[in-house]
Structure 1
Amino acid sequence: MKWIDTPPVWLLGCIALAYAISGAVPWPRIGGPGDILGGALVAIGVSLIALAAREFRRHRTTIMPGETPERLITTGIFARSRNPIYLADLLILAGACLILDAPAALFLVPVLAAVLLRRFVLPEEARMRDKFVAEFQAYAQQTNRWL
């Protein structure tokens, strides 16, 4: 049951909630512009995940939340963001809200950001700080948590 408390499950739950809001809250259809912007946000999010996954594979370390990586990744997309996959989740959710014509559900983006920060980012950073000490400290000073 540990898989239930994972970032993809939280993301899917928020998208499901956005879908429910789209049917419950009357809002004028955004249509084309919302679909285009939403699609672009989802595409950027998926691209960030792919770039991050490539770095995890290249460095032969775990991509699984809750596990301590064998190596600290500071290259590729991780040179721009310490948490590109979590950032991608937020972009995907924002894009889904627009595609679903549910701008009223955009409040879920900061809610998901807070959940990801509390449940995953801060504990992961604590584990990396403990394992990589000075190397993580330098990385954290150099690279922003989100962007």
Structure 2
Amino acid sequence: MNAYRSKSLRYPWPVALHGLACIAAVALKRVLPIPVKNTYGEWIPWTIGAIFTTLGVVLCLWAIRTLLDRQTTVLPNRCSSHLVTCGPFRLSRNPIYLGYTVIMIGIGMVALNPWFFVLAIVTVIITTVFAVRAEERHLLSRFGIEFERYCRRTSRWI
């Protein structure tokens, strides 16, 4: 298959991975609870968690809107037609996955569930190893030196 037509992933599983991590965090809190001492009152962790969750949603929506405006695919299992380096992609090469992770941290704060933080880290590692690297190989084969320049000036996550 031509590199220009190849897809980075067969299935858009990073979305599913983050969803499964959230389900696992809820289940782990029931099975192996990690005690959390909240000395600040209910509203402070809830407010901070709500802010994180909102920031994550806004980041995801901004990135999706930027991809759609540039007329390229949002789905990681489709072939990219354009290299997008503007909007949130100026700050991170993976703003949607970063947004998912920030949402997980926000939910963990609202729920006072440390398993969300643990599984957010695990999810970032798994997503990087199996999805991000495959997507980067696809973009390198598709856009070559232009993608290499973008990688030099923009970090993978933050």
> How many angstroms does 1:12 deviate by?
1.2
Q: Partner amino acid for 2:35?
A: W
User: Out of 16, 23, 48, which is 2:59 matched to?
Assistant: 48
- The answer to whether the aligner puts 1:64 opposite 2:75 as a matched pair is yes
The 5 A counterparts of 1:54-133 are: 54-133=65-144
Letter in 2 for 1:40: I
Corresponding residue for residue 16 of structure 1: 23
Q: Per residue, is there more helix in 1 or in 2?
A: 1
Runs (4 or more) in structure 1 with deviation over 6 Å come to none
**1:19/1:100 contact within 8 Å kept:** no
The question of whether the paired residues in 1 share the 8 Å contact of 2:107 and 2:116 is answered with: no
Kept after mapping to 2: 8 A contact 1:11/1:89: yes
Are 1:141 and 2:149 an aligned pair?
no
Tell me, yes or no, if the aligned pair for 1:68 and 1:124 is still in contact at 8 Å. Answer: no
TM-score by length of 1: 0.90
Shift of 1:75: 0.7
CA distances 1:57-80 after superposition (whole Å, capped 9, x unpaired): 111110101222100000111111
Q: Indicate the larger mover: 18-27 or 121-130.
A: 18-27
1:27 maps to 2:35: yes
Segments of 5+ residues of structure 2 without an aligned counterpart are 1-9
CA RMSD of aligned residues (A): 1.6
Counterparts in 2 of 1:14 and 1:137: CA distance versus 1, 3 Å:
same
Percentage identity across paired residues of the two chains: 26
Contact in 2 for aligned 1:45/1:89 (Cα 8 Å):
yes
Report Cα offsets for 1:74-121 as digits up to 9, x if no partner: 011111111000111111111111122112442111100011112211
CA 59–37 in structure 1, closer or farther in 2 if over 3 Å, else same: same
Would the alpha carbon gap of residues 36 and 98 (structure 1) be closer, same or farther in structure 2, given more than 3 Å must change? same
Which residue in 1 is equivalent to 2:4?
Answer: none
> Could you tell me which amino acid in structure 1 is paired with residue 155 of structure 2?
N
Q: For residues 127 and 21 of structure 1, what CA distance do their matches in structure 2 show?
A: 36
Pair member with larger Rg? 2
Aligned residue pairs total 145
